[in-house]
Amino acid sequence: MPKIKELIGDVLQGKSGSIDVDSIMTAGKIVGLYFSAHWCPPCRGFTPTLATFYNNVKSKKNFEIIFISSDKDESSFKEYLDSMPWPALPFSDRDRKKALSEKFGVTGIPTLILLDEDGKVLNKNARGDVLDDPEGEDFPWKN
């Protein structure tokens, strides 16, 4: 399995600019790939729940989420990213977005996949687990 950096690249996009992946990747990090889009009503419904979960769990665990956008244009992407407390794969990196969707078999959104630092899938359907365990008592719910 490729390391996380090989999957997502060297640079992510934050609200205020670029973020070097090395600055957020630490040993033992669990990474959630959040496939979502502004135009998707179930996504917009789940994102606030995920943000609350993320803020609670991140204070206790070595955890990061990366937004992988299925938005149709960059302005929608940026508007949606503003509602999230985590960074994103740059919108312009559509080839990598497509490759990640194919690699992890993402056919619908919202989808949350948890990976270990080596890129190994810990949980391929973590969305349901966030809803079932909002405090993250059993996080990362390996399957």
Burial of 26 (0-12, 13-18, 19+ CB in 10 A): exposed
What is the reported pLDDT for 117? Answer: 85
Q: Can you give the pLDDT of all 143 residues of the chain as single tens digits?
A: 458 888 899 999 998 889 999 888 888 899 999 999 999 999 999 999 999 999 999 989 999 999 999 999 999 999 999 999 999 999 999 999 999 999 999 999 999 999 998 889 999 999 999 999 998 999 988 77
The model's pTM is 0.95
What is the reported pLDDT for 55? Answer: 94
The answer to whether 53 touches 132, Cβ cutoff 8 Å, is: no
What is the reported pLDDT for 2? Answer: 58
Domains and CATH numbers, the chain: 4-132 (3.40.30.10)
What is the reported pLDDT for 1? Answer: 46
What is the reported pLDDT for 133? Answer: 93
What is the reported pLDDT for 23? Answer: 85
Helix (DSSP H) and strand (DSSP E) numbers for the chain: 6, 6
User: CA dihedral in degrees (73, 19, 105, 96; nearest 10)?
Assistant: 60
